[in-house]
Each structure stands twice: as structure tokens, then as C-alpha cells.
Amino acid sequence: MTKKRISRGKFEKMQQLSNQDGVIAALAIDQRGSMKKMMESAVGPDTYNIDMVYEFKGLVSQELTKYVSAILLDEELGFKGIQDKNPQAGLILSYEKTGYDANTPGRLPELLPDMSAQRLIAKGADAAKVLVYFNPDEADEIIQKKLGFLERLGDEARAADIPVFVEPIVYDDKITDDHSPEFAKIKPKKVIDTIKELTKDKYHIDVLKVEVPVLFKYVEGYTENDDSHVYTQEEALSYFKEASDAATRPFIYLSAGVPTKTFQEELRFAKLAGATYSGILGGRATWFEGVAAYAENGKEGLVKWLDTTGKANVETLNTILKDGAVPWYDAYGGLENIEVFDLNLAD
């Protein structure tokens, strides 16, 4: 295998984001609009105020980064989390604007206007994360806009010497319910085709943060009703393996808002399939129930929940990763096949 050349800044930051096994065992709490809605729904509109979101993110970061290799946060609502995280945990910062302009076709991505890769580094980031809605079956005009965006993003991250994590969320313009059996049938091909494209060298994406390639609640044996499955277990296993084999760079799984037990089952299933994933960014599957604990019993109730149930959620995921995930550098043939070089940046 040809030696993989990685700049020193990127290499050292990737190691900072990983645990002792080279696996990215990370926590995600970069939700913005949805986080506000979750909190307001939990405490009630008459009680809700934005300081609750700030405090919640700060406490989750403070307590749970004791047990993870890194955390993904946004600065807008997660500034307390940035301050309060465990110093040993790596930091991934969101670089994209939340949501998309519904009046413009294609769910086009947009970066935060007052941010840059260099500014993220100045705020302590070890990586930049960008979410992109991606439909590989969309009109070529839209696809090319997104691919051009990703090429520019990759070039900026290379110049700044910081890893970039890209989170492609697949969708379909005709089947708008992405939890439906109809969407479940078309999701595997969309995920696989997206991975094939975005792990090409020209985008310089360091880590792809991907969805599992199936809607897991429709896998035979994992459904609420055995008659409602869309995939047999053999089919689902093959989709996991095909998606993994399509990746030419490290990839990790996101929890995509599924329940805690479901995310754990997905990761165990990935191992059965032989998927060579390099970790996770676990979000709501890790801390979602803490919102109710905070609403009911305030700061003290949340800290108690985080130090018991939240900790247990993370430790269970860490055990699953120990058993099933592979180091990020295995995608390049192992550490011995990586050549680290110094990027000479002008002052």
C-alpha cells in the first residue's frame, strides 16, 4: 500500500480526538434549533429561557467528557461546554449554519459567516464539523454546488492544518418522511453512493460522520412487529458491509436521534457485518433522557442523572467500541504506513 502522507497538525489533532486504541469515542451535543425545542417542550414555554440550554450543554460536557475521547459542540449555545469540558477530551466545533433555506432548492449548506478554520483553531478546536444534506440522486446542478462547496472546505482545512469531519445526511425530494418504510427501501443505496463519492481524495475529508445505511427499526428481528420489516437480517448485514467497503477514508457513525438501546444494537450489528468503522459521535442516544431529569429536578437532578445513567450509557458504548471499532489510521494501512510531514505556513 502506498504511504499515506498526513500533515503534522492534522495527525496530532486526530490522535487528540481518539482514545488509546485510535478510536474516536466521541460525544455530540451541537444541536441548536432542535435543542431549544427539546428544552422548551420539557420545561414548558412559560418556564423556558435560553440560559437553561447554556447550562444543560455545559453540564453534559463537564460530566460526560470524563469518559469520552472528544466532544462535538457549537459555540452559539455550547460555549459553556467548551469551557467546562475535560481538558483531556478533544474538541470538535460545528462550522455550518444550522438548518437550511427552505426557499432555495437543494438544501444548500452554508458556513457560519463570522467563522473560519483559523478562528475555530483559535477557540481550541481539534477539528471542524460540517453537516451537508446530500441526495446522490438529485439534479446534477445541485450536486455540483455541494461538491464544489466541499472541495473549498477541504482546501481551507488543509491550509489551516485542521481535520474536517463531514456529516452527510441523505434525503429524497419525493419521499419526505425519512422514517417511513418507503424511505427505508431507498436509504441503503443513497448512503452507499454518498460514501463512495465523499471519501474520494479530492475532497480532503478526514472523517466521514455517517448514518448507518438502514432504518434499523425495519430490520427483521429488531422491529416492533415482525411483519413490518423492510430488510431481512442478511440484507441489512450486506448493506452495512457494502457501505463500509465503499469508504476509502475513516468513517464513524452518528446516532441520528435513535433511542439509546437502538444505537447500541446498531453498533453491535455493524461488527457482525464486518464494518470497519472507527468510532462514533453519539448524541441524543447518550444524553436525551437528561433533558427530562433537568426539567424535573434542575441542575442537581441533571448532574445526578449524568453521573449514573449518562455515565452508564457512555461506558456501554465504550465497551461496544472496544469490541467492534477499528483505529482511524487502519483506513491507511496502520500507523506504520503514515508519513507525517510539517506543513510550512506563512506567518
Q: Cell 483559523 identifies what position? A: 118
> For position 164, what pLDDT does the model report?
98
Give residue-wise pLDDT tens across range 53-74: 999 999 999 999 999 999 999 9
> For position 337, what pLDDT does the model report?
98
Each residue's pLDDT, cut to its tens digit, for the chain (347 residues) gives 799 999 999 999 999 999 999 999 999 999 999 999 999 999 999 999 999 999 999 999 999 999 999 999 999 999 999 999 999 999 999 999 998 888 898 999 999 999 999 999 999 999 999 999 999 999 999 999 999 999 999 999 999 999 999 999 999 999 999 999 999 999 999 999 999 999 999 999 999 999 999 999 999 999 987 678 999 999 999 999 999 999 999 999 999 999 999 999 999 999 999 999 999 999 999 999 999 999 999 999 999 999 999 999 999 999 999 999 999 999 999 999 999 999 875 44
Give the SS3 label for residue 44.
coil
Distance CA 48, CA 96 (A): 26
> For position 306, what pLDDT does the model report?
98
Query: What's the angle, vertex CA 215, arms to CA 108 and CA 191, rounded to 5?
Result: 45
Distance CA 71, CA 28 (A): 6
Give residue-wise pLDDT tens across range 148-205: 999 999 999 999 999 999 999 999 999 999 999 999 999 999 999 999 999 999 999 9
Distance CA 302, CA 61 (A): 12
C-alpha separations of 176 from 173, 180, 207, 289 in Å: 6, 9, 27, 27
Q: Cell 486526530 identifies what position? A: 14
Closest alpha carbon to 278 in 244, 242, 241: 244
| Contact (CB, 8 A) for 147 and 135 | no
> For position 347, what pLDDT does the model report?
43
Distance CA 65, CA 152 (A): 32
Catalogue all structural domains in the chain, each as residue range(s) with its CATH number: 4-335 (3.20.20.70)
> 242 has which bridge partners?
none
